[in-house]
Amino acid sequence: MIDIRSLAEKKIFLLDGAMGTELFRTGLPPGHCPEAWNLEQPEKVAAIHRSYFEAGSKAVLTNSFGGNAVKLTKYELQEKTYELNFQAAKIARSVCPPGCYVGGSIGPTGKFLQPAGELTEDRLYEAFRPQAEGLAAGGVDFFLIETQYDLREALAALKAVRDVSPLPVWVTMTFNLTKRGYFTIMGVSPEVFVRAMEENAVEALGTNCTLSPADMIELIKQMRRLTSKPLIAQPNAGQPRLGEDGSTYYDQGPEEFARPLAELIEAGAMIVGGCCGTLPAHIEKMAEIVGSYSDKIG
């Protein structure tokens, strides 16, 4: 088994940027299931992965962010949960260069647990398990349970992964910066999140989405004071804006996005990448900065 934890502890480990942003740029129709392209347009998905590796990513994440059975129900694809995730992993694996890695992306269901919603932990587990099975069978090197907002959902996904695979598991939650500090939309604080991840012995943890790189620095500092585990930081490329044609874009280009990266690393982030709005050009600029940490990379 590849010791991703050991690599992340010894190096600044560069992930990829946004998959969804690139899928839409490549022609994914609005309202179409992104994971369906693993079967319908595998060459386009592969090209996105390849562009991130060429930009300098040490690992890419599979096109499976919404590949759980709950979210796939929206597209009447829940019966293909295993297949779509298996293909997601196979596609990324097929273009992975020697010495690089593939992470299995597991995002949230987009629904709420009882009493705020109708879902139960058991239903979540049933939704995540075939996703984890497909990703593991397809050949991922590790799992990233990402963009979580409810700790109970994150733990249900973690249990599903652990029950089907011994591979390393990383977990990120998405936090908002409020007047009271950092919290997820369900009120989870960094302290509560880190404590739960320590108790469940995840290999790495951190935050992604919502925040810009500069706004993420203090959050990473807080997490570093709470844990010695490798920390993940995957900020957005600024804030979303509406273009004249009605399309959404993010307001930070590669230079502006990458400028706070050194400070993020100094704050304690060892695993870095991009979330919404980040493109291969953003990752390429990040790779230049990561490369300057010659004492931390192999």
Confidence check: pLDDT of 160 > 80:
yes
Which residue in 148, 108, 100 sits closest to 128, CA to CA?
108
In one-letter notation, the amino acid at residue 229 is K
What's the whole-number mean pLDDT along residues 72-82? 98
pLDDT band, very low/low/confident/very high, at 78 (cuts 50, 70, 90): very high
Q: Give tens-digit pLDDT for 255-289.
A: 999 999 999 999 999 999 999 999 999 999 999 99
Is 84 in contact with 35 (CB distance < 8 Å)? yes
* Stretch (H or E) spanning 199: helix 190-199
What's the whole-number mean pLDDT along residues 209-224? 97
Confidence check: pLDDT of 298 > 50:
no
Give the pLDDT of residue 9.
67
| Both tokens assigned to 157 | 């996904």
Give the whole-angstrom CA distance, residue 193 versus residue 223: 9
Give the whole-angstrom CA distance, residue 37 versus residue 230: 32
Range in 8-12, 148-152, 154-158 the model is least confident about: 8-12
pTM, full prediction: 0.95
Q: Give tens-digit pLDDT for 111-130.
A: 999 999 999 999 999 999 99
- What kind of fold does domain 4-291 have according to CATH? TIM Barrel (3.20.20)
Neighbours of 215 (CB within 10 A): 18
